[in-house]
Amino acid sequence: RRIARIRGIPLAATFHSKYREDISRHVHTKVIADMILEHIVRYYESASMVFAPNQGTAEVLREYGFKGTIEVVPNGTEIIPPSKAEHDTQAEAARSRLGMQDHRFTMLFVGQHRWEKNTRLIIEALSLLSKQYGKQFVMVFIGTGPDAGEMKHLVRKLQLSSQVQFLGQITERKILLSFYAAADLFLFPSLYDNASIAVREASAYGVPSVLVEGSTTAEGVKDFENGFLIKNSAPACAEKIALIMENPEMLIMAGRRAQESLYIHWEQVADELFLRYSALLSRYNGFTPP
């Protein structure tokens, strides 16, 4: 903002974080938390253009008190959907790393290991899926975070260690993509996230996601069409997964539609942003795009 003022150029800002939750985790006084939020809102009000990745995220900023215009431009991914041969090769490589001798129903979570991501719901739902529904599966957690140790402890406590694997952070993109290829279902019931790129990545591989209905990151997902929506509870999640496991054709169709409707490449996003930036510049100094 300082540089934009000094140089007399427009400032474009992106809003994609739920600051209230982040602030409340560290500041336990509402008065101080509200003061910090007011400061954040003033920053966005000083911007020439404000972007959000979906309508739900834009509404969060409005709830904070922002009154200006918000441009919605979706998140994308650099992933190009693989051919069937590439997909099969990648999936086999991931199963080999997991020590799987056959293709068991595989679920995946990619993201920070924090309770705010609703990871407790996932683990408790897996327990119900195993004990109440008698389902066999493999659950893979990829990532790291402050609550990783407690998540692992809960898995051991619920006697799920034989079906759940924690792989930590995977920085090599090729290896990470192989786990998307091996996954049948992507679990992401987070109420904290606004527009998960991991859901986009899964959709590139034709993997549908299980999301909490009404959550910001579930925007654009229709139940049983291009993904699966649940109430925010472990029993609801377990029941939906059990139903999905018993209807493989429905799972395949949802994955295909997820790829068609949710997948978007960053190049498409960049093309759209170029037009928005060009319009902004033209209002400032008559800039004409090449």
Q: How confident is the model at residue 289 (pLDDT cuts 50, 70, 90)?
A: low
Closest CA to 163 of 143, 134, 198: 134
Q: What is the pLDDT of residue 94?
A: 97
Q: Token pair for residue 251?
A: 């799972």
Q: Token pair for residue 82?
A: 């693989």
CB-count exposure of residue 242 (10 Å: 0-12, 13-18, 19+): middle
pLDDT digits (tens, 9 = 90+) for 77-105: 999 999 999 999 999 999 999 999 788 99
- CA angle, corner 199, sides to 194 and 203, nearest 5? 145
Is pLDDT above 60 for 287? no
Q: What is the pLDDT of residue 229?
A: 98
**Which amino acid is residue 48, in one-letter code?**
S
Share of the chain above pLDDT 70, in %: 98
- CA angle, corner 174, sides to 173 and 175, nearest 5? 90
Cα(144)–Cα(121) distance, integer angstroms: 17
Closest CA to 159 of 191, 190, 183, 124: 124
Average pLDDT of the residues of the chain: 95
Q: What is the pLDDT of residue 284?
A: 81
pLDDT digits (tens, 9 = 90+) for 220-258: 999 999 999 999 999 999 999 999 999 999 999 999 999
Is pLDDT above 60 for 288? no
pLDDT digits (tens, 9 = 90+) for 95-148: 999 999 788 999 999 999 999 999 999 999 999 999 999 999 999 999 999 999
Q: At what angle do helices 173-182 and 197-204 cross, to 10 degrees?
A: 70
Please give the radius of gyration of the chain, using alpha carbons only, rounded to the nearest integer: 21
